Amino acid sequence: MLYLLLCLVLIPVIILAGYAQTKVHTVYKTFSQVNTTKNRTALEVARTILDTAGLKNVTIKKVPGTLTDYYDSKHKVLALSESNYESTSIAAIGVAAHEAGHALQDHQNYIPLRLRHLVIHVSNIVSKSFFPLLILSILLAIFIPTSGNVGVYLVMIFTAIYALSMLISLITLPVEFNASQRALRYLKDSQELTPQELNGAKKVLSAAALTYIASFLYNAVEFLRILIYLLMITRNDN
């Protein structure tokens, strides 16, 4: 009964995820067409934030696409999408400041960011181990029939993967929220944006935040659904 309920709950969560993606693109498109009063590019703003914080070692590069911006803590690179790199729009400035916020987190050893990197590393190891473990489970079932059901092993692996995915998306929330707070604080204190422009940047970053919330809810429901299914099949085996 609980399993079926979670399947039903998954429907509005998927709808929310679709809505969040649509909203972030709509809001971004709206404010990418509105230039800021100071008319400075996203590249210039990001460089100023980094230099002010003493992060001259962080390089900024242009990457293809739209909303493909990211910060690479390993190589100390802040990547701005080609649609934002030389743009003077409110959306571009907000996104660039947000990514610079991640660089500041990295510089200050922000604990949730470090924890997220650790969990992602563990998740990658588990994901890469999926097929070897699956093959091992099949071999055990063939040569040692009493070793258990392959399906149970498979679901256990999926449960572990989704548990890590849920944990990553959970930790991502404070990391992304904090980066946006840092961005908006800087844009306000430095008067880089006017109050009206700042409100636009806040709308862009808030729309992006909704996608992270939707991702966490999806991963959480999927994890619970698979966990309950695992408990059901193990109980039936016993």
Q: Rounded distance, CA 166 to CA 150, Å?
A: 24
Q: Where are any strands of DSSP class E within 49-165?
A: 59-63, 70-72, 77-81
> What CA–CA distances, in Å, run from 10 to 16, 194, 208?
10, 41, 21
**Cα dihedral sign, 115-121-124-128:** negative
Beginning with the edge strand found earlier in the chain, give each strand of the sheet holding 70-72 in spatial order: 59-63, 77-81, 70-72
197 is catalytic: no
- What residues pair up with 70 in beta bridges, in sequence order? 79
For 68, residues 6+ apart whose C-beta sits below 8 A from its C-beta are: 79, 81
Active-site residue (options: 82, 99, 176, 222): 99
- What residues pair up with 63 in beta bridges, in sequence order? 81
Residues forming the active site: 99
